[in-house]
Chain A
Amino acid sequence: MIALSIAAVLAIFLLYTSIAGGGTPSIRPSQLAGHSSRVSLTGVVVGPVTGDAHGSGLRFLLRDRGVAKGASRVAIVYTGEVSEQFKVGREIVLDGTLKNGAFVGVPGSLLTKCPSRYTAKPQGQ
Chain B
Amino acid sequence: MPQLGRAALVVSLALVAYALIAGAAAAVTRRRRLAVSARNALIAAFGSTVVASTVLVVALIRHDFAFTYVASHTSRALPTRYAVSAFWGGQEGSLLLWLLVLTGLGAVAVWLNRRSRDLVVWVVPVIAGVATFFAWMLVVVASPFATQRAPFDGAGLNPSLQNPYMVAHPPLLYLGYVGLTIPFAFAMGALLSGQTDERWIVATRRWTLIAWTALGIGQLLGAHWAYQEVGWGGYYAWDPVENAALMPWLAATAYLHSVMIQEKRGMLKIWNVILVSLAFCLSLFGTFLTRSGIVSSIHSFTQSSIGGWFLGFIVVVVVLTIGLIFYRLPLLKTKTRLESLVSREATFLYNNLLLVALCLTILWGVTWPIITEAVSGEARVVGRPYYDFFLRSFGLPLLLLMGIGPLIAWRKASLRGLGKTFAWPAGIAVLTGVVLIVLGAGSSTPGLIAYTFSAFVLGTIGLEFVRGTRARHSLSSEDWPRAFSSLIARNRRRYGGYIVHAAIVLLAIGIAGSSAYQHVTDKKLARGESLNVGPYTLTYRALERSSNANATEVRAVLDIRRGTQLVGTVRSGKNSYTEPAGTVSNEVGIHTNYLTGEDIFVIAETVYGNGTVSFRVLVKPLVNLIWLAGLIFLLGSLITLWPDAREQRRLATRYAELGSGASPAR
Interface residues, chain A, with chain B CB atoms under 8 Å away: 1-2, 5-6, 9-10, 13, 16-17, 20, 22-27, 31, 40, 42, 52-55, 81-85, 87, 91, 93, 95, 111-120
Contacts and interface: CB of A to CB of B under 8 A. Distances in A.
A117 B302 contact: yes
Contact of A111 (B298, B368, B524, B586): B298
Contact of B296 (A6, A26, A84, A118): A26
Given A40-B383, A116-B158, 7 more contacts: A6-B353, A9-B357, A23-B369, A93-B298, A115-B300, A116-B89, A117-B302
A116 B382 contact: no
Interface in B198-251: 230-232, 237
B298 A17 contact: no
A118 B361 CA distance: 35
B478 interface: no
Contacts of B357: 6, 9
Given A82-B605, A118-B580, A26 B360 contact: no
B389 A54 contact: no
22 contacts: A9-B353, A9-B360, A9-B361, A13-B364, A16-B386, A24-B380, A26-B369, A26-B379, A26-B380, A27-B378, A27-B379, A42-B296, A54-B524, A82-B606, A84-B574, A93-B298, A114-B158, A114-B230, A117-B156, A117-B302, A118-B156, A118-B157
Contact of B605 (A1, A81, A111, A120): A81
Contact of A117 (B89, B232, B382, B614): B89
Contacts of B382: 17, 20, 22-24
B73 A117 contact: yes
B616 interface: yes
Contacts of A5: 353
B325 interface: no
B353 A26 contact: no
B606 A52 contact: yes
Contact of A23 (B349, B383, B582): B383
Contacts of A119: 72, 155
B155 A117 contact: yes
A102 to B, nearest CB: 21
Interface string B268-311: 00010000000000000000000000001111111000000000
A20 B387 CA distance: 12
B17 interface: no
B163 interface: no
Most chain B CB atoms below 10 A, which of A20, A83, A85, A93 = A85
Interface string B572-586: 001000001010111
Interface residues of B, number: 56
B570 to A, nearest CB: 18
Q: What are the nearest 9 A-B pairs in CB distance?
A: A54-B614, A23-B380, A23-B382, A84-B586, A9-B357, A26-B381, A113-B300, A26-B379, A111-B298
A101 B72 CA distance: 40
Contacts of B155: 117-120
Contacts of B157: 117-118
B465 interface: no
B356 interface: yes
Interface string B349-375: 100010011001100100011001000
Nearest to B587: A84
B597 interface: no
Contacts of B372: 22-23
Contacts of B584: 84
A23 B370 CA distance: 12
Contacts of A31: 378
B390 interface: yes
Given A84-B584, A112-B298, A117-B90, A17 B386 contact: yes
B603 interface: yes
A53 B606 contact: yes
B451 to A, nearest CB: 25
B161 interface: yes
B390 A87 contact: no
B552 interface: no
A13 B161 CA distance: 37
Contact of A114 (B89, B298, B356, B380): B298
A56 B308 CA distance: 45
Contacts of A26: 296, 369, 379-381
Most chain A CB atoms below 10 A, which of B230, B372, B379 = B379
Interface in B163-198: none
Contact of B160 (A52, A54, A114): A114
A117 B586 contact: no
A117 B298 CA distance: 14
B302 A54 contact: no
B383 A24 contact: yes
Contacts of A22: 368, 372, 380, 382
